Amino acid sequence: MDSTQLIAIFGSILLQSAPLIIAVCGETISERAGVINLSMDGSLLLSALAGFVAALLSGSLLLGFVAAAAVGAVFALIVAFGSLHLRQNQVAIGFVLAMLGDSLSAFLGQSYTRMPGPSVPAWHIPVLKDIPVLGPIFFRQDAVVYFALLLVAVTWWFLFRTRAGLELRSAGERPEAAFTRGVAVRKLRYLYAVLGGALVGIAGAAYSLDVKIGWAEGHTRGMGWIALAIVIFGGWSPVRGALGAVLFGATKALATVLQRSFPQVALVAFNAVPWLLMIVVLLLVSGKLAAPLLARAPATWRRAPAAWRRTLRGLLQAAPPAALGQPLDEQ
Amino acid sequence: MLAAAHAAASTDFFLVYLANIIMQVQLNTIHKQFGSLVANDEISVLFEPGRIYGLLGENGAGKSTLMKILSGYQRPDRGEILLGGAPQHFASPRQALAAGVGMLYQEPLDVPVFTVLENYLLGRAAGGESPRQAARALEALAQRYGFDIDPHEHTSELSMGERQQLELLRLLAGGAQVLILDEPTTGISAEQKDILFASMRTLAREEGKTLILVSHKLDEVQELCDYAFVLRKGRLVGGLPLPCPNQQLVSLMFDELAPRPARRQLGQHAPALSLQSVQVHTGRLELEPVSLQLQAGQVLGLAGLEGSGQELLLRACAGLLPLSGGSLLLGGESQPDWNYPLARQHGVAYLAAGRLEEGLVAGLTLTEHMALVSHTHGLLVDWPQNRKLAEQHISTYQVVGQPESYIENLSGGNQQRFLFAMLPQNLKLILMEHPTRGLDIRSTDWIWEQLDQRRAQGTAILFVSADLDEIAARSDQIAVFSGGRLLRSLPAAETSADELGHLIGGAL
Ligand SMILES: Nc1ncnc2c1ncn2[C@@H]1O[C@H](COP(=O)(O)OP(=O)(O)O)[C@@H](O)[C@H]1O
Ligand SMILES: [Mg+2]
């Protein structure tokens, strides 16, 4: 395999991972505010269908993405309303919605199966595309990939560098404290759950209009659950979540290569590879294993400058938002 | 000239007068009920600027509720809040702070995973301030009050005292003129307490702010405050300028002692429990060596403010905390490796304060509880038998409920009765935390009657209670704890609840 081939593989891994990255960012935003949107798998499917059909019928890609975002937002709104207003269990509502989205997409999508449709065109960025190695990987892609990469940066910046992000995180970490400081916890939770849901919807359309063009029954089935797992393994950080998504895409590509080299081994065995690798790598970077390792080296740990210590801790820390899924009684 | 000077003086006077009026806090007939429990019963108080007030009362007297109402955290059922004569309707603590009222809650209400700076910024009006400027402002403010705070430290790494300091600075930066501190000295070091009190004096004396210290500790209120309001069972029972004799405050805080019912002396001169220089260490508190004797049939009451060490001793006796020194003898036999299963085998029962947390299982019916405690090891549960048992206990212990009732739907008194019903017979020792907390008089008396019957059979009783009347009336011997030390051990027959109040307040 020569280097151009390798670069092409990396480029395609990035493309394949883009919808997952978008979905992970959306879910991270929602969970950071304290709302678990477990309906993701179903809403991805239904929004993939909605995006495809809307773009097909209207001839406008933009309209396709808007329709998909709307479907995702509505799913999230149902979860938010059920838990924040009706005080039902978020996990239960989300799970039922996941099933519902799956069945509904299969039913509604029957007459759109395996049809040719519109797709997002490639868009190479001038100048940048000519940078060796990085250019072909990052800048000879399409709008969806650029959006995904930009989204990671913006989400991180918003969560950890802005006042609004501070309020968002406080609603998910300690809603009582947020409330006493005048943060409108419930309103924020609605807002960010719906925003996160809309991003999940966009991820759905990114599949049907770009990465896996068209529609078939169960088109994206399973990707929602994977995204949920990546959010957790990524420690609720958009950057680590995006890395997790790319890693998942990379191991899938690896599985394909391996399968080609060892045709005598059953395909099913290679399908398990991404999962195994992901668990190993993500266990290594998540706090569960890192914390005891850090505790083993107390002397060096203590001598390190405080600022380093904090940065390292921040990188390795992976605790869920403390009030994830919990309601708040606003008196 | 003269006229001008005069005019200037009178405007000064007028301004001071105006400032005082503006910051005066008046609570008028505040009423707050939780279900049938009246936490605040028509309370009216007035707080003047530049002074430090103490709000005294036993646990559960309604102090926190009143202050949460003043700080916008809870809304009163009736009554009004006036700031400088203007009625206020706070919808949230944020609004209260905007009007100048800030409160430091009993539990620090901050976000532990945030940095100090992030906690400081959360909820602050944006005002074009950069994080760096905010950090500098925070440091400057901390310096002014003698606090030592690193804006970039994670809040979860701070001590309780430092978290309080952070919260206090945040309130001051938010424009608080009236500062309420709810039991701020629980869980902080003596040194931090001194710093805190010094800063409170500065705030009141030099900056003319109104300070309210909520506490059940007499000595710290006497040390710091100019005036004390006393709450008892939801009512305002008085206000006194300080310092004053502790006796006056004690008689306001605690009920008159009701005539003590004649109680039988049941000590049988057979040792039940003997503690020799027992020490217990936990992260928060160290219990200094304690030696106590308890005879069969005797009752030993452990008195003290919450967190003085008596609870640790009780849990150590139950085998739930390891002894870090000394020895424990049960029925004269030394027990070097004491633990909870062993304690149960030896006929020691332990009733925790949290009935539904530690004693009973929410979501199970009474019959299911019976099955849980019956010690049969068969695969199948004999439901008819357990149902019959539950019925028996319901009738003998007069529990208002059915065998099919879920335990959490019973009232507190009935839950406690059922807990007693589940205790095995012929125990050597019963250990109890707050055995009658939250129960009405009828249930309380009933429970002590049951305990008396057990005493007649030779069961010894060791209990912790915040109710001094209960301790004085039900014990043979009383042990008073303070700050992790056994202060005194005295015979109950010669001790009144008043004297106990004195002792636990650290007056003697
Ligand atoms: N949110 C609540 N729901 C029900 N009961 C409450 C609530 N808050 C306080 N109480 C009850 O009101 C009474 C007064 O409580 P509190 O004001 O916290 O007392 P204090 O601060 O003087 O110890 C207590 O009996 C307490 O159990
Ligand atoms: Mg209180």
Nearest ligand 1 atom to the CA of B231 is: 22
User: At what angle are helices A40-58 and A185-206 packed, to 10 degrees?
Assistant: 60
Tell me the sheet residues that pair with B287: B280
- Domain assignment present for residue B329? The answer is yes
Establish, for the pair of chains A and B, how many residue pairs have beta carbons separated by less than 8 Å.
63
Last residue of a domain, one of B222, B253, B284: B253
Token pair of A244, please? 């997790």
With CA atoms as reference, report the closest residue to B499 among B465, B476, B474, B471: B471
Outline where B331-398 has alpha helix (H). Answer: 340-345, 366-373, 383-396
| Residues in chain A, overall count | 331
For position A303, what pLDDT does the model report? 55
Round to the nearest angstrom and report the end-to-end CA distance of chain A.
Answer: 65
B298 has a chain A CB within 8 A of its CB: no
Pocket of ligand 1 (CB under 6 A): B 34, 37, 39, 57, 59-65
Number of domains in chain B: 2
With CA atoms as reference, report the closest residue to B199 among B230, B155, B165: B165
Q: Report how far residue B335's alpha carbon sits from residue B274's, in angstroms, rounded to the nearest whole number.
A: 10
Nearest ligand 1 atom to the CA of B182 is: 21
Phi/psi of residue A136, each to 5°?
-60, -35
Alpha carbon B478 to its chain's center? 20
Task: Say if residue B33 is in the same domain as residue B129.
Answer: yes
User: At what angle are helices A273-285 and A238-261 packed, to 10 degrees?
Assistant: 150
CATH number, domain with residue B206 = 3.40.50.300
Task: Say if residue B141 is in the same domain as residue B40.
Answer: yes
Give the DSSP letter of residue A272: T
Residues B355, B407 contacting (CB under 8 angstroms): no
A127 has a chain B CB within 8 A of its CB: no
Residue to substitute in B43, B64, B221, B237 for testing ligand 1 pocket (most ligand atoms within 8 angstroms of CB): B64
Structural domain harbouring B301: 271-347+424-504
For position B362, what pLDDT does the model report? 79
Q: Report how far residue B502's alpha carbon sits from residue A119's, in angstroms, rounded to the nearest whole number.
A: 82
In the three-class reduction of DSSP (H, G, I as helix; E, B as strand; rest coil), residue B480 is classed as strand
**Residue whose CA is closest, atom 14 of ligand 1?**
B62
What mean pLDDT do residues A111-122 have? 89
Contacts of A175 in chain B (CB under 8 A): none
Q: What is the ipTM of this complex?
A: 0.82
Angle at B83 between CA B56 and CA B98, to 5 degrees: 100
Token pair of B440, please? 């009405």
CA of A311 to the centre of ligand 2 (A): 38
* Residue A112 φ/ψ region, left for φ over 0, alpha for ψ in the -120 to 50 degree band, beta for the rest: alpha
Task: Say if residue B278 is in the same domain as residue B306.
Answer: yes
In the three-class reduction of DSSP (H, G, I as helix; E, B as strand; rest coil), residue B265 is classed as coil
Task: Say if residue B305 is in the same domain as residue B449.
Answer: yes
Cβ of A177 within 8 Å of Cβ of B126? The answer is no
Contacts of A181 in chain B (CB under 8 A): 93-94, 122-123
* Ligand nearest, relative to CA of residue B61: 1
Cβ of A179 within 8 Å of Cβ of B122? The answer is no
- Domain assignment present for residue B148? The answer is yes
Task: Say if residue B227 is in the same domain as residue B292.
Answer: no
A331 has a chain B CB within 8 A of its CB: yes
Task: Say if residue B309 is in the same domain as residue B428.
Answer: yes
Do you find a cis peptide bond into B243, omega within 30 degrees of 0?
Answer: yes
pLDDT tens digits, A72-109 = 999 999 999 998 888 888 889 999 999 999 999 999 99
Last residue of a domain, one of B253, B284, B310: B253
- Domain assignment present for residue B409? The answer is no
Q: Is the pLDDT of residue A175 over 80?
A: yes
Mean of the per-residue pLDDT values of chain A:
86
Contacts of A173 in chain B (CB under 8 A): 111-114
For position B257, what pLDDT does the model report? 47
Helix (H) or strand (E) holding A255: helix A238-261
Q: Which residues contact A66 (CB under 8 A, 6 or more apart)?
A: A54
**Residue whose CA is closest, atom 7 of ligand 1?**
B34
CB atoms within 10 A of CB B198: 13
Structural domains of chain A in order of their starting residue, each with its CATH number? 3-316 (1.10.3470)
- Domain assignment present for residue B471? The answer is yes
Task: Say if residue B146 is in the same domain as residue B240.
Answer: yes
More confident residue, A303 or B63: B63
Last residue of a domain, one of B218, B253, B288: B253
- Domain assignment present for residue B92? The answer is yes
In the three-class reduction of DSSP (H, G, I as helix; E, B as strand; rest coil), residue B424 is classed as coil
Residues B450, B443 contacting (CB under 8 angstroms): no
Quick one: B301 exposed, middle or buried, by C-beta within 10 A (0-12, 13-18, 19+)? buried
Q: Report how far residue B400's alpha carbon sits from residue A233's, in angstroms, rounded to the nearest whole number.
A: 50
Residues B282, B312 contacting (CB under 8 angstroms): yes
**Residue whose CA is closest, atom 8 of ligand 1?**
B65
Task: Say if residue B48 is in the same domain as residue B192.
Answer: yes
A83 has a chain B CB within 8 A of its CB: no
- Low-confidence residues in chain B, pLDDT < 50: 1-2, 5, 257-260, 507-508
**Residue whose CA is closest, atom 4 of ligand 1?**
B34
CA of B59 to the centre of ligand 2 (A): 7
pLDDT-based confidence at A235, cuts 50/70/90? confident
| Residues in chain B, overall count | 508
Q: Report how far residue A149's alpha carbon sits from residue A206's, in angstroms, rounded to the nearest whole number.
A: 13
Nearest ligand 1 atom to the CA of B438 is: 25
For position B2, what pLDDT does the model report? 47
- Domain assignment present for residue B466? The answer is yes
Cβ of A170 within 8 Å of Cβ of B109? The answer is no
pLDDT-based confidence at A309, cuts 50/70/90? low
Quick one: B293 exposed, middle or buried, by C-beta within 10 A (0-12, 13-18, 19+)? middle
Task: Say if residue B179 is in the same domain as residue B302.
Answer: no
A210 has a chain B CB within 8 A of its CB: no
- Domain assignment present for residue B361? The answer is no
More confident residue, B281 or A277: B281
Token pair of B135, please? 């950090």
Q: Which residues contact A149 (CB under 8 A, 6 or more apart)?
A: A21, A138, A242
Give the DSSP letter of residue A322: T
**pTM summary value:** 0.73
Contacts of A310 in chain B (CB under 8 A): 152, 154
Give the CA distances from residue A26 to residues A36, A99, A230, A244, B340, in Å, rounded to whole numbers and listed in that order: 11, 20, 12, 15, 49
With CA atoms as reference, report the closest residue to B103 among A186, A175, A181, A330: A181
For position B441, what pLDDT does the model report? 65
Task: Say if residue B132 is in the same domain as residue B230.
Answer: yes
Token pair of B401, please? 């409920």
Q: Which residues 403-462 of chain B have a CB within 8 Å of chain A?
A: none
Q: Report how far residue B90's alpha carbon sits from residue B68's, in angstroms, rounded to the nearest whole number.
A: 11
Task: Say if residue B249 is in the same domain as residue B219.
Answer: yes
- Domain assignment present for residue B59? The answer is yes
A302 has a chain B CB within 8 A of its CB: no
Percent of chain A with pLDDT over 70: 87
- What sign has the CA pseudo-torsion A292, A295, A300, A302? positive
Task: Say if residue B48 is in the same domain as residue B130.
Answer: yes
In the three-class reduction of DSSP (H, G, I as helix; E, B as strand; rest coil), residue A244 is classed as helix
With CA atoms as reference, report the closest residue to A228 among A79, A107, A119: A79
pLDDT tens digits, A25-62 = 999 999 999 999 999 999 999 999 999 999 999 999 99
